[in-house]
Structure 1
Amino acid sequence: MRTHRTATALLAAGALVLAAGCSSSGGKEAEEAAQSKGQGGGGVVADTPRMKVAMVTHSGEGDTFWDIVQKGAKVAAKKDNVEFLYAANKEGKEQAQLVQTYIDQKVDGIVVTLAKPEAVRDVVKKAVAAGIPVVTINSGGEFSRAFGALTHIGQDESVAGEAVGEELNARGKKKAVCVIHEQGNVSLEARCAGVKKTFKGAVENLNVEGTNMPASASTIQAKLQATGDIDAVVTLGAPFAAASVQAKKGAKASAEINTFDLNADVVKQLKAGEVGFAVDQQPYLQGYLAVDELWLNKVNRNVIGGGKPVLTGPALIRQKDADALAELTADGTR
């Protein structure tokens, strides 16, 4: 019975992919494609027992990146007959408490970020010991296996930073500031360290209060006014690109603004030449694959990537790429 049900579910998942692939012909196929992106009801649902998956991230208030992660997770959850739960706290201690809450609820799987790995290490190991499979996403991938997770889904932050440094070299930049919006976040620090590793010019880290956007913009503006030879600003999250564009105007500076991550505003800024390039780590894919991995592991004992990190980035997005992404960012999937 289980083998038949699993096979049926996996065939259903394949049918959903095929439906999306035929969307260009319109009619029913187009409707199903829209449903697969979370735009409508219905669609193919796995014929497997209902399961419950919880995601706990380090998101601060107003960070649109995590809206995209959740959108991907919810689409996978709908397809996989999964009840999806979400909670977040930017403080490591509180994040660990949220994970413990879901352990107490005896969920079937947990997705967690490792931005502050030491704070959540013990509770992640506790979940694994309790028989709850864990998938880590987005940050702290180097700690994932040691903590007992099935796999890590995200980009290699050091490699992403190195790609930014190389792009700055290609653009002839000489002095950059790397804006860290959450102190103690190992992934953000790794990004800036990667930039420093490959950039031939000078790089200085600048800490801002990430949960206070006006204050962040003010800090960046003050830095640009005080250090007139900065010719590149690298922000580590899409909302901070807009803050930096504002700060640049206020400081009457000429520095190029570049950023990690995408949202609709960044795509518009790329088209307008207000942002030079962006680094896309595909947050939709991180959420989708994390939920899908827990479902696949439950029903078929699959492990995506064989336990190795599954990379979703980095991909450099430049002005010429913006038009192709405009519709997707408006839809909230990129």
Structure 2
Amino acid sequence: MNFIKLGALALTALMAAAPVPAFAQEDAIIMLGGPSSDPFWGAVQQGFDQATKDYGIKTQWTAPADFNDIVPIYTKMFEAAIARKPAAIAVGNFFPEPTEPLIKQAAAEGIPVIIINSGGNNYQQLGAIGFIGEDSYKMGQEGGKIAVANGVKNGLCINQIAANPVLELRCKGYIDAVTEAGGKAKMVTLASEDIGNSQKVQAAVSAMLMQDQSIDGVITLGVAVAVDALESIKQVRATGRNVDLGTMDLGNTVLEAIDAGEMSFAMDQQPFLQGYYGVMIPHLYNTYKMAPSSVVSVGPFIVTKANAADVLAVNKKFAGSRGAN
């Protein structure tokens, strides 16, 4: 795929409304990502690395080791990035209370900020040059519609990071779709420090399904939780009870499960493109003073049994580009 051509089509030759900042002191573009061990963020980093190679520019990937104490650690990472006076910063507005003042600070200091993944509703007010990501509510809503079509009447949306309003929006979209069709649904939250501990996640999901025997649909908001939830749901299905399962984000295990009919769907926000555009857009902004005139939406791309095999083939040819694992 010609990403340079694709990126050019995604942009408009439009000067940013805010005053053009002076060039920063350091010429590296810094991207603040999530743990590279996470399937989603591994794909973001692949896009980031590919754009770095394609454009031949200096960049730096910065990420926490895991999800423990994620809010203070991510905040400190952002503060350190601003202090370096880089050419630009790509950052997710996952935790608005500590993050938004820092976005404003960076913009005020003349550092172009591109927001990735989370925070598309108010990026302009914060002084960012653009947003690359998903429509979080629509991601959940589309998943809910598929679940309803599969007969779900009592759905469960499992949120693994309580402090992230984007994940809550995904659950709200799913819940609304199910309830508008005459069913019911609710959000439950796992402890973020348990993500990556399969035994704890499987035990938690099993307990949820046991507590309410009428639950017939589950949606997860990440690959790791989806894989663990699938194991719990397989045990329930062995008793003759049917539970629909869908997820946000992709990985080989998820794609194989969808192709095999064990999972219904995955809502893909195309993390590779988030990483790629997160380098490309600030680079073009610094070079040509061009920026997107609106959000750059890369999701949802819906994966079902109809196209799972094709997407899986891509992920095996370009390992991890559509999600690791």
TM-score tier after normalising by the smaller chain length:
0.7 to 0.9
8 Å Cα contact 2:155-2:185 kept in structure 1:
yes
Which structure's relative contact order is higher, taking Cα pairs within 8 Å and 6+ residues apart?
2
How many residues align? The count is 288
1:64 aligned residue: 39
Percent of aligned pairs with the same amino acid: 28
Structure 1's consecutive aligned runs of 4 or more residues displaced over 4 angstroms after TM superposition are: 12-17
1:311 aligned residue: 297
SS across alignment from 2:127: coil
8 Å Cα contact 1:260-1:280 kept in structure 2:
yes
For 2:253 and 2:89, how far apart are their aligned partners in 1?
31
- Match for 1:204 among 166, 169, 186? 186
For 1:214 and 1:302, how far apart are their aligned partners in 2?
48
- Match for 1:54 among 20, 26, 30? 30
- Match for 1:237 among 200, 222, 230? 222
SS across alignment from 1:153: strand
Deviation at 1:213, TM superposition (A): 3.1
2:205 aligned residue: 220
Aligned residues: CA RMSD: 2.1
For 2:212 and 2:5, how far apart are their aligned partners in 1?
55
1:168 aligned residue: 147
2:277 aligned residue: 289
8 Å Cα contact 2:7-2:280 kept in structure 1:
no
For structure 1, the residue ranges without an aligned partner over 5 or more in a row are 1-11, 18-49
Q: Which amino acid aligns with 2:256?
A: K
For 1:15 and 1:185, how far apart are their aligned partners in 2?
30
Mapping 1:88-237, distance limit 5 Å: 88-89=63-64, 90=67, 91-199=70-178, 200=181, 201-210=183-192, 211=195, 212-237=197-222
The one-character-per-residue Cα deviations of 1:116-175 (angstroms, maximum 9, x if unpaired) are 111111111111111110000111211322211101100110111111222222222101
The one-character-per-residue Cα deviations of 1:214-264 (angstroms, maximum 9, x if unpaired) are 211110011112211111110001121111111113344421111011111
Structure 2 length as normaliser, TM-score? 0.83
For 2:188 and 2:6, how far apart are their aligned partners in 1?
48
Q: Which has the larger radius of gyration?
A: 1
Deviation at 1:16, TM superposition (A): 12
SS across alignment from 1:332: coil
Deviation at 1:13, TM superposition (A): 4.9
Deviation at 1:61, TM superposition (A): 7.1
For structure 2, the residue ranges without an aligned partner over 5 or more in a row are 9-25
The one-character-per-residue Cα deviations of 1:87-121 (angstroms, maximum 9, x if unpaired) are 23452332121112112222101000011111111
Q: Which amino acid aligns with 1:121?
A: E
Identify the structure with the greater helix proportion.
1
Distance 1:61 1:226, change over 3 A: farther
Q: Which amino acid aligns with 1:234?
A: I
